Structure 1
Amino acid sequence: MQSAFLEKIRTIEVKEQSIPSPASDEVLVKIRAVGLCGSDIHYYEDGKIGDFIVEKPIILGHEAAGEIIELGSNVEGLKKGQRVAIEPGKTCGACVHCQSGRYNLCKKVEFLATPPYDGAFCQYITMRSDLVFPMPDEMSYETGALIEPFSVGLHACSRGEITAGDTVLILGMGPIGLMTAAAAKIHGAGLIIGVDLEQGRLDKAKELGADRVINIKAESVEEKILEFTNGVGVDVAIETAGSPAALNSMISGVRRGGKAVIVGMSSKDEAAMNIAQIINKEMDLRGVFRYHHTYPKAIQLLSERKIDIEKIITDRFDSLQGVKAAFEKAIQDKKNTLKVMIYPNGR
């Protein structure tokens, strides 16, 4: 099989490898679609994200879906030819976080495309059988791959405890922000406000659930939020941009007694925030790290076709030979590029 390796910063090499054999509790999946994530781009450009450093050639890509080709000897409940979405994090199952249900906090997680673990920019991959989730026949592989970023949006909405009728502010209309808007819409939010500095992304936000948008190049975020909420502020604000300025807009936009949720990872570990507002408003301030128990729910929600998350896809590359071009497109044309989809085995 072929696999696309990040050899060093901004250097991708497609190599031949043997097709792996599944262990007794694993399945072999033929990868049909993989989304390019912002974390992949960080590794490609910088060779690291925080403490995760690329020290040897690595296969990137963790937003994946495919077809089961082979079953391990102890695998039950799955079958060859089944279309599946892949949850990319293998956790230990034994720590206090796994045992309490918050397995996304497991310190021993082996997450695809996070050093030193290889990812899914390859033609075949073995996965533990409990990490592949059957999809309906009518669900595309593209939607299956997008369940991973959609899961981040679902988890953000869960952390914000969004309920029907809530007013929701989402700062940053990149892929995760757009997926969060879609998730908030499905949760029944009454008013969703999207914020960004690119009008194209704001237009896409309207397609994926935003009722109102604010272009920070031309409008005051604080003033527009008060206008849209009759001077009250929003029930829940979710920051997905990783921007210090967005953090403070999030805090100022939340109503008294509201909730603020931080999803975006900044390039800096520390950012100044208005602590007085957090205290005076008695806000709940919460972080988001990946997700847990989202895949079955996501598959069910997306099967109902209430929203088309494939609208986020802006570019497609039909083989692993296009992986480098995919990265460069995402970097060089940020204004017009949202989600890039790669097909390791062709379309």
Structure 2
Amino acid sequence: MAVETAPECANLKALRLHGRKNNQLDDVAPQKCGHDEVRLQIAFCGICGTDIHEYLGGPIFAPQPGMKNKVTGIELPVTLGHEFSGTVIELGQSVKSLKYGQRVIVNPALDERHLGMKPCSPCKTGCYNICKRSVTYGLSAEGGGFCEQSVVKATSCIPLPDSVSLKVGALSEPLAVAWHCIRVSGFKQGQTALILGAGPIGLAILCLLKVWGVAKTIISEVTEARIDQAKKFGADAVVNPLEPLTGDREDEVTDPVVAACRDLTGGDGVDVSFDATGMQSTLDAAIAAAKPRGIIFNVAIHERPLLLNLNLLAQQEKSIKAGISYTNEDFHAVLKVLAEGKIPAEQLITSVVPLSDVLQGGFMELINNKAQHVKILIQPDPDV
């Protein structure tokens, strides 16, 4: 059987991280397509907060200057981008699961299954997202999405349902993060939830909690633009923690977020607090707002260690949990939600920027005006 291959092409445009505060739009040679890989024509790739952190304060997950990643061997400069959708334009000789012209999204996390290694203990139990040798396309593995084309493992690709566009499909990675957090938290239908932070992941959790059957949702957020977004996406209450409470309260609560949670839940507090901000103040509020035996779930990646008074947990048997990334289970669940139109996915996209303007219209726009955006997508080919 003949294998479809892409025509020979010239160098490609790619946004590459060269070092701290050093992103460049480079001409790069096309990657070679291995026997178990596919070449994708990239349709859309979202800018993640991780990409911004890599640029401003990194490299973090990307290799350090002068070093190579111990698993993949790649070194700077690295093509960024890990939230991408595309179309298969070349198939490796061993690939049977996909076909030429198929529309797919990419699970960018690689584990020992992809790397030809023996499985570690998490992988043996199906917890591939915490693989001891996990690497990621667009950070620590070659094949980032801020490029015209990318070569990835065929097993990293998940076909898009016919009713889901390539544009919306690019949202599947951050939505999978949110779905994984809800799933791992142990949240159950009919429960209440607090979300601290109305950034892209916080809003994704809000939208997906509605699919899970949440009874009440409270959002804590300080910026006006994101407060408006949280209201638009249907939070039952949106509270600015910097605005002081007025009036006397019998429970002597002084934190407006904790007060709102108790007021909306009959005085008990919420079943689950999702901290998507990662500050000392939001951790403290998440603990105080959770009801007895409630769950505090950490979503954020922290820039510095926080203080934790375990007595606040022990006295009411509250629990802290945390989650990272996703598995294919989360991607399939999210694609089903998107295919059924259960969340306003298009409204999560606040801007689409051509690859030629990724530096100013993408990265600098998010750095300077991040509160105005939920998700900026980069589009290598404006005709897609």
TM category, shorter: over 0.9
* Between 239-248 and 135-144, the greater mean CA deviation after superposition: 135-144
RMSD: 1.8
Within the alignment, does 1:104 sit opposite 2:118 as a pair? no
> Which residue of the partner structure matches residue 83 of structure 2?
63
> Which residue of the partner structure matches residue 44 of structure 1?
55
> Which residue of the partner structure matches residue 291 of structure 1?
326
Q: Residues 51, 258 of structure 1: CA spacing in aligned structure 2 closer, same or farther, 3 A cutoff?
A: farther
Flag structure 1 segments of 5+ consecutive residues without an equivalent: none
AA in 1 matched with 2:77: P
Cα displacement (A) at 1:148: 0.5
AA in 1 matched with 2:176: S
AA in 2 matched with 1:153: A
Question: Which of 333, 344, 365 matches 1:308?
Answer: 344
Question: Which of 200, 216, 224 matches 1:191?
Answer: 216
Aligned counterparts of 1:236 and 1:336: Cα–Cα separation in 2: 27
> Which residue of the partner structure matches residue 263 of structure 1?
299
Question: Which of 153, 178, 183 matches 2:178?
Answer: 153
Post-superposition Cα deviations, 1:159-205, rounded to whole Å, max 9, x if no partner, equal 22112111011111100111111121111111111111013212212
Aligned counterparts of 2:280 and 2:62: Cα–Cα separation in 1: 21
Aligned counterparts, 1:126-205, within 5 A: 126-205=151-230
AA in 2 matched with 1:57: P
Aligned counterparts of 1:11 and 1:51: Cα–Cα separation in 2: 13
> Which residue of the partner structure matches residue 307 of structure 2?
272
Aligned counterparts of 2:137 and 2:274: Cα–Cα separation in 1: 26
The TM-score with structure 1 as length reference comes to 0.94
Q: Which has the larger radius of gyration?
A: 2
Report if the CA contact (8 A) 2:168-2:346 is conserved. yes
Cα displacement (A) at 1:247: 0.5
Report if the CA contact (8 A) 2:19-2:59 is conserved. no
> Which residue of the partner structure matches residue 344 of structure 1?
380
AA in 1 matched with 2:215: G
Cα displacement (A) at 1:49: 3.0
AA in 2 matched with 1:155: H
The count of corresponding residues between Structure 1 and Structure 2 is 346
Cα displacement (A) at 1:112: 1.6
Flag structure 2 segments of 5+ consecutive residues without an equivalent: 1-11, 67-75, 114-118, 245-255
The TM-score with structure 2 as length reference comes to 0.86
> Which residue of the partner structure matches residue 75 of structure 1?
95
Aligned counterparts of 1:96 and 1:322: Cα–Cα separation in 2: 39
Report if the CA contact (8 A) 1:261-1:287 is conserved. yes
Aligned counterparts, 1:220-235, within 5 A: 220-235=256-271
Consecutive aligned runs of 4 or more in structure 1 exceeding 4 Å deviation: none
Percentage of identical aligned residues: 30
